[in-house]
A and B are shown apart, each in its own frame.
Chain A
Amino acid sequence: MDIVNQLQRQFIDHSTSLHREGIVDDQFTELQKLQDENSPDFVVEVVSLFFEDSEKLLNNMARALEQAQGVDFKQVDASVHQLKGSSSSIGAMRVKNACIAFRSFCEAQNREGCLRCLQKVTHEYSLLKNKLQSLFRLEQQILAAGGSIPVAK
């Protein structure tokens, strides 16, 4: 019982800090609410898909910005737009905001600005990924210890 309580408290703390630091917003809570006994792995599935997609998109952006013969800003923008859409849909607020800033530099065709934004988006993405993976690990530990996962308010 002690272990479960401890883990549950850690889970709540972790969840709260994710929201407080603006790493995720209400959309993520909505996502968690969609999970139920019929789809117990829904959040992990959606987030895993998001990780896969995001890494592809970040690679696309990096490659497009590396082109010595001239950057195709439309292509960069298309990838940023997609990342903005998916991050918004799962509630990854800081990634989404980094994408919004990124798009202005694409529009201005400013390579230096774009490279800085790519760095920022990559940083926010890595932060999100680490934090969510920790959250999922805590969930697994709680379940393994026979406890239940505290419900998001």
Chain B
Amino acid sequence: MVLGNGASSSSLNMKSGEDKVNSNKNLSVLVVDDDPLIRMLHDMHLKKFGLNPQVVEDGKKAVDLFRIGASFDLILMDKEMPVMNGVEATKELRDMGINSMIVGVTSRGLEIEMQDFMESGLDFCFEKPLTPDMITFLLNELNKKNDDDNND
């Protein structure tokens, strides 16, 4: 796992199962991946946490959503996709001023490739496959981020 600036892996607050599901209902998530199998898996993983993700198959579709005014707290971004890949889409979103948490989920685990992806503007980068522990970590980070934003 690669951490971006400002990220810390402090101890996790494990909420009880129901608390967890209820407090996550307000978070919006976008899954961006060209593989229908992965989209199905990530969707189900996230649903277990009480989330209802929107799912698109390439970077351009993700960017278009933001252009028409949609917004998401968390974006799970695949790296290799047709039309517009994860690196391009992330750069585009950051250029547009999008502040959402963008997390790379890639099947290429080479350190250098993950660094390249990170540099496009990711908050974190994980190697596939997504696991419940990763989701727990991300939701924790999201809650911290939202707290910070609210305190500004």
Residues of A at the B interface (CB closer than 8 Å) are 27, 30-31, 34, 39, 42, 45-46, 49-50, 53, 81-82, 84-86, 88-90
Contacts and interface: CB of A to CB of B under 8 A. Distances in A.
Given A46-B40, A89-B128, 19 more contacts: A27-B129, A30-B131, A34-B45, A34-B48, A39-B44, A46-B41, A49-B36, A49-B40, A50-B37, A85-B38, A85-B128, A86-B35, A86-B37, A88-B107, A88-B129, A89-B37, A89-B41, A89-B129, A90-B37
Contacts of A81: 107
Contacts of A39: 44
Interface of chain A, main secondary structure:
helix
10 contacts: A27-B129, A34-B48, A42-B44, A46-B37, A46-B40, A84-B107, A85-B35, A85-B107, A88-B128, A89-B38
Nearest to B36: A49
Interface string B30-67: 00000111101100110010000000000000000000
A49 B129 contact: no
Nearest to A38: B47
Contacts of B41: 31, 34, 46, 89-90
